[in-house]
Structure 1
């Protein structure tokens, strides 16, 4: 990678709650999100990409979240690009988000952004209150038309549901349905990488020859060594730094700030709870 590479900060699965409520009774997700966005300044991002589950269980937080992301955009002097997840009601990521978009698609959160010659396309993978996501045929037709003209420095896709499976059996079948349809649209295109969330677990894979990065969550993350049927490490909050260069893409998870008083705590929560995704 070189000094001319573009830097993206990838934030996902913030699971914000209304009225000062704490996630699982102890996690201040607003504070964790603000801390992640503040820490992003250290990396001088060219854009921040937020890949869904802004809210937890459909909480009415999107007006406040839009203000938070707009404030971050001013402080960081870069666009904040947002797509919804399965905890975000249909239409909740609308006109108050993605103000720097240069084009829109079939859904309000299908957006196109251009930054330093890099094109970032956000896709709404639907699935509110469902585990799996999907892309409609109109979305795929629109995406194919957008990609027909290459961008000067290539394209990165942002979507919530990963087009690859998780190593955790509890997450089986909870990614993007029919990923082969997306792969067919992307074949031969200038897409350099796909950024996703949803799994609360950093994972790298590929869709065809295109790298897929599933970022760790800002809210909390899974522990692969936890006993069956449980989730640990509610005190871990992460974001990612993505470097995009000529023919290259790298992803680095970054652990967010944590209060010293809770660094050694470990809490178990049943993995079957819908809130975990």
Structure 2
């Protein structure tokens, strides 16, 4: 079987054009530039997936704009795109503007099979909170889905990372019940996990599975000191390749000056 390539994007933080963007930046242009880079690279992905923080505290209009942007830009590749929700997203306006449904606060999660690869998208977002948790209903649903193996295997996508602890304050940004989720997916056909949220590129083995977090298309984040977070210009994406039961993640960062955008006390981000 031929390798399957797809593009993992995250943390787009997009708002409609007439609204001032985060850090006075045009986040839609960031995404367009990243997708143009994908097009120029010669990679022919089977799909695109965005792992949350689609809009920045958006309303239905913001999500409608993002949907139209993705239909135009990803449509040029002739492949589908899928999304999960992050802590800066809101379910009701997302369902109204992006999905064209009646507003609802129901969690958004699903699975889909493309070219034999099963993409499992979870909702780790907790409304009005920066923390991430996969609730009991999703865990039961996930267990049921995984009872039937997919032809090529499964990749789990969610916003909050499932990574081993580093023993630092950054561990507070990880999924709170990641070991519980791992208990459901370990020993099944899951070959990798993709996430965002931390605005930094990190790949690790978690319960024997490859788990990767991307820095995203909007900006990068790093610790300036032990209590201060630095935000800087950054645009990156992951080319994910699935082949023979394994997942490879190649991070591509677009050229830039990495100009500092702001600094904030760490406690402001933890809520």
TM-score by length of 2: 0.86
Alpha carbons of 1:235 and 1:276: their partners in 2 closer, same or farther (altered >3 Å)?
farther
Residues 117-153 of structure 1 deviation map (CA, whole Å, 9 limit, x = unaligned): 1010111112233121111111111111111110100
Residue pair 1:95, 1:108 contacting (<8 A) in 2 also: no
C-alpha contact (below 8 Å) 1:57/1:129 kept by paired residues: no
Unaligned runs of 5+ in 1: 100-105
Give the structure with the higher percent strand.
2
CA distance in 2, matches of 1:275, 1:66: 27
Q: Distance in 1 between matches of 2:47 and 2:134?
A: 24
In structure 1, the partner of 2:9 is: 11
- Total equivalences in the alignment: 263
1:68 corresponds in structure 2 to 69
Give the structure 1 partner of residue 232 of structure 2.
Answer: 234
Separation (CA, whole Å) in 2 of partners of 1:143 and 1:39: 34
Pairwise CA distance, 1:257: 5.6
TM-aligned CA distance change 1:276 to 1:255, over 3 Å: farther
Q: TM-score, normalised by structure 1?
A: 0.85
| Counterparts of 1:218 and 1:7, CA distance in 2 | 19
**1:114-263 alignment, distance < 5 Å:** 114-164=113-163, 167=166, 169-224=168-223, 226-232=224-230, 234-256=232-254, 258=256, 263=257
- Following superposition, the deviation at residue 228 of structure 1 comes to 4.3
- Residue 263 (structure 2) aligned to one of 266, 269, 273: 269
RMSD after superposition: 2.7
Does the 8 Å contact 1:160/1:198 carry over to 2?
yes
Match of residue 36, structure 2, among 13, 32, 38 = 38
Deviations 1:179-211 (A, max 9, x none): 122111112210110100000011112331111
Structure 1 residue ranges, 4+ long, deviating more than 6 angstroms after superposition: none
Q: List alignment gaps of at least 5 residues for structure 2.
A: none
Q: CA deviation at 1:59?
A: 5.1
Higher helix share: 2
- Is the alpha carbon distance of 1:34 and 1:52 closer, same or farther for their aligned partners in structure 2, counting shifts above 3 Å? same
